[in-house]
Structure 1
Amino acid sequence: MSAVAWTATGSLAAWLWLLLGQGFFWRTDVRLPPREEPDDWPSVGVVVPARDEAAVLARSLPSLLAQDYPGRAEVFLVDDGSSDGTGELARALAERHGGLPLTVGSPGEPPTGWTGKLWAVRHGIGLARARDPEYLLLTDADIAHEPDSLRRLVAAAGSVGYDLVSQMARLRVESLWERLVVPAFVYFFAQLYPFRWIARKGARTAAAAGGCVLLRTDAAERARIPDAIRQAVIDDVALARAVKRSGGHIWLGLADGVDSVRPYPRLADLWRMVSRSAYAQLRHNVPLLVGTVAGLAVVYLVPPVALVAGLVTGSRAAAVAGGLAWLVMTATYLPMLRYYRQPLVLALLLPATAFLYLLMTVDSAVQHYRGRGAAWKGRTYTRPDANAPEPSPEQP
């Protein structure tokens, strides 16, 4: 057998293992668990960090204010140094729509050792804790919730005894580039963090989706959230790990009724979204970067290349192995395309999408070493400093 045939065989073996041995990551049936509504609904503080979000706030904030929640709930929006009138717009929306009480706060610029979002979250949790809520809902300013979203989250957490319940919001998929890149983003995330493994007690896999995280207040205190993760660029995964390490029981699944309204119409928009944190995901580790690039190439790029090369050169082994690997790859992507209501033919383009993600990952590393890594809304975050001073344990 040729080198191409052997490599294609290795790719096929990898895909068979991913199909059966990676927590059935490709299935999209992990939704909120069965739940019973409590007789006495616990109180909830909804924390929304927001920086320059005026363009999306009119579609997201009213959905939070309109939550049909039987217990006491309040919304705390933290204006993180916005220059577009985010705070003023939030107050105007609350006056116009009514609903849940809204408090708008501003923490000022984050001190050294904190990301802006987590500094805003810290301030929001401090405001919420003054009302002594049993739960905290951490949600992004671009996330719209159906009226029963909070009710369903709290009921699910209480019924099963979860300390953290997170839903991966359905991202917007309207432009050509969104159709090509967005479903794959969620697919790759689930491949890295299989949802079924996350909910297992004792399993090491931990992740959350930052757009929608319901967290018990006492679990946040045990895990020292957000102080313990104050430098995390990928803050949702870091939050879930901290909660699980402190003994918490966590759950993550796909959302029904929780949607992102943020548009990513151009490839450049999606590129920035992925590349700003891709190298941080690899812990700024060059050998891990090299291994990831090689793995992406073998798993996603080799199958179509081997199929074409085998057909051209007459190598039956290369063509068969490459074709079968591409077939398994395509089949595992179909459920995610159905979830996003996209044409199933897009599954055949997954190798091309994976190549884009490979380039984004490399670019993330390049930008990091140029001093422009993890840039977001006017702030650039360097590699976390393990020697950064510990923050005060008290919330503001």
Structure 2
Amino acid sequence: MGQTAAVSAIAWTAAVSLTAWLWLLLCQGFFWRTDVRLPARREPDDWPAVCVVVPARDEAEVLPASLPSLLAQDYPGRAEIFLVDDGSSDGTGELARELARRHGGLPLTVGSPGEPPAGWTGKLWAVRHGIGLARARDPEYLLLTDADIAHAPDSLRGLVAAARTGGFDAVSQMARLRVESTWERLVVPAFVYFFAQLYPFRRIGKKESRTAAAAGGCVLLRADAAERARVPDAIRHAVIDDVALARAVKGGGGHIWLGLAERVDSVRPYPRLHDLWRMVSRSAYAQLRHSLLLLTGTVAGLALVYLVPPVALLAGLVAGDATAAVLGGAAWLVMTGTYVPMLRYYRQPLWLAPLLPFTAFLYLLMTVDSAVQHYRGRGAAWKGRTYARPDTVPEEG
């Protein structure tokens, strides 16, 4: 009797999981589709001035593969680059100057803001300095891009044309991340998949939708929209700065767009699980606003949605409970099907799709670890800096 009740409970849990997957499939902005690319655009008659702002801290390893792509931008209007060396110890600033001398192309200015004051993340302090330098050139647009992002020669041209054509205040592309090592294949496509599940791209582009997000590696932003939204000052303590930026711009009445990139790539390697673990865990608990209640709900949600289907299928087969096995298998099948488009986008073998529950379990552990590190005083740590919770940061007068 106890065994029957236990199996029945598994079947009911699998039914809830399957219901959740059917809702995600049909009602969560079709997050699983990967056809949200740079929108239709026409080239303007007059090309506006653009300033490219690149915050960089200890990026000498990746800069030779990324900065030349910015210098080589084929842009018909006036454009220049401001690389902000955020206290690097590896010669990032001097390397940037050397690359500019060697490759030519767009004008490059290297600046340094000094250490960030209390209440600022290092990246946003560097972005603030770069925007300050850029405003002296009176640009219509700012391109905020990370030091590990390589752009195709027509990237800036396409971004500006899309922004002008669609009337967007911010156009952001999620760079295609590097996927070469075994762990990158398991973890990286899922990272983008989970992001799209939280922030469906189709909803972001709708003015009436409250959903707002951006990909910090590539954000073209109207300078006046940045000023209205008080970016980056209004989000100075944000660890997940791209989402905070998008919310600030959209909250100020701006029209934003986010989609997957075709010709914008991250060159940063994450060859080991440890590297990917640090990338996720440094900000996962910040994403949950450092709330134990949200952490508990997230862990329970991940378990219900991603772990229950394979467990129910296997438990049903072992116990002879056909209902549990069928419901668990159906939920796993829907999950697998929604992951296939992302694997195709990343040009990865489709046999990785059924392994999504394993990857989700890794993300669950990373999220819990992020909370543990936070309470040990090592949360939101990156490149030698650890950031406090936003509610412990003093407000500016």
Query: TM-score if structure 1 supplies the norm length?
Result: 0.98
Tell me if structure 1 keeps the 8 A contact 2:85–2:92: yes
In structure 2, distance between residues paired with 1:387 and 1:357: 28
Do residues 252 (structure 1) and 252 (structure 2) align?
no
Q: Does 1:89 align with 2:99?
A: no
- Between the aligned partners of 2:232 and 2:136, the Cα distance in structure 1 is 16
Q: Secondary structure at the match of 1:200?
A: coil
Task: Work out the CA distance in 2 between the residues paired with 1:363 and 1:386.
Answer: 21
Deviations along 1:74-129, one digit per CA (max 9) or x if unpaired, are 00000000000000000000000000000000000000010000000000000111
Within the candidate set 95, 105, 116, 2:122 is matched to 116
Aligned to 1:64: 70
Question: Cα deviation per residue 1:322-342 (whole Å; 9 max; x = unaligned)?
Answer: 000000000000000000000
Q: Does 1:200 align with 2:206?
A: yes
Tell me, in whole angstroms, the C-alpha distance in 2 between the residues paired with 1:302 and 1:55: 42
The corresponding residue for 2:378 is 372
- The question of 1:238 aligning with 2:272 is answered no
**Are residues 1:161 and 2:141 paired?**
no
SS at match of 2:62: helix
Q: Secondary structure at the match of 1:152?
A: helix
1:389 positional shift: 2.6
Q: What is the Cα deviation at residue 300 of structure 1?
A: 0.2
Q: 1:387 deviation in Å?
A: 5.7
Partner amino acid, structure 2, of 1:154:
V
List structure 1 runs of 4+ shifted beyond 6 angstroms: none
Task: Measure the CA separation in 1 of the matches of 2:386 and 2:253.
Answer: 33
Deviation track 1:237-280 (CA, whole Å, cap 9, x = no partner) reads 00000000000000000001000000000000000000000000
Pairing 1:48–2:57 present: no
Q: Is the 8 A contact 2:118 2:393 kept in 1?
A: no
Q: Which runs of 5+ in 2 are unaligned?
A: 1-6
- Aligned match of 1:143: 149
CA distance in 2, matches of 1:202, 1:117: 30
1:293/1:358 contact within 8 Å kept: yes
Would the aligned equivalents of 1:113 and 1:385 in 2 still touch at CA under 8 Å? Answer: no
Residue 220 of structure 1 is matched in structure 2 by 226
2:278 matches 1:272: yes
Give 1:179's match in structure 2, choosing from 182, 185, 189.
Answer: 185
Supply the AA of the counterpart residue of 2:176: R
Partners of 1:319 and 1:113 lie apart in 2 by: 52
Amino acid at match of 1:228: A
Alignment of 1:11-30 (within 5 A): 11-30=17-36
- Counterpart check, 1:323 vs 2:329: yes
- Among 290, 296, 317, which residue is 1:311 paired with? 317
| 1:360 pairs with 2:366 | yes
Distance 1:326 1:213 in 2: 35
User: How many angstroms apart in 1 are the aligned matches of 2:383 and 2:246?
Assistant: 24
Structure 2 counterpart of 1:209, one-letter code: A
Residue aligning to 1:302: 308
1: CA distance between counterparts of 2:254 and 2:17? 37
SS at match of 2:61: helix
Letter in 2 for 1:193: Y
Q: Which residue of 1 aligns with 2:4?
A: none
Check if 1:282 corresponds to 2:288: yes
> For residues 60-83 of structure 1, what are the alpha-carbon distances to aligned partners after superposition, in whole Å with 9 as ceiling and x for unaligned?
000000000000000000000000
Query: Tell me, what secondary structure is at the counterpart of 2:391?
Result: coil
How much does 1:382 deviate?
A: 1.4
AA aligned to 1:188 is: F
1:389 aligns with 2:375: no
- Structure 1: how far apart are the matches of 2:64 and 2:134? 22
Give the secondary structure class of the aligned counterpart of 2:213: coil
Q: CA deviation at 1:386?
A: 6.1
TM (norm. structure 2) is 0.98
* 1:6 counterpart residue number: 12
Return the offset for 1:385. 2.9
The equivalent residue for 1:394 is none
1:291 to 270, 289, 297: 297
Amino acid at match of 1:11: S
**Shift of residue 388, structure 1, vs aligned partner:** 1.7
Q: Structure 1 stretches of 5 or more lacking a match?
A: 392-396
Cα distance in 1 between the residues matched to 2:208 and 2:391: 29
Q: Is the 8 A contact 1:374 1:380 kept in 2?
A: yes
Amino acid at match of 1:101: P
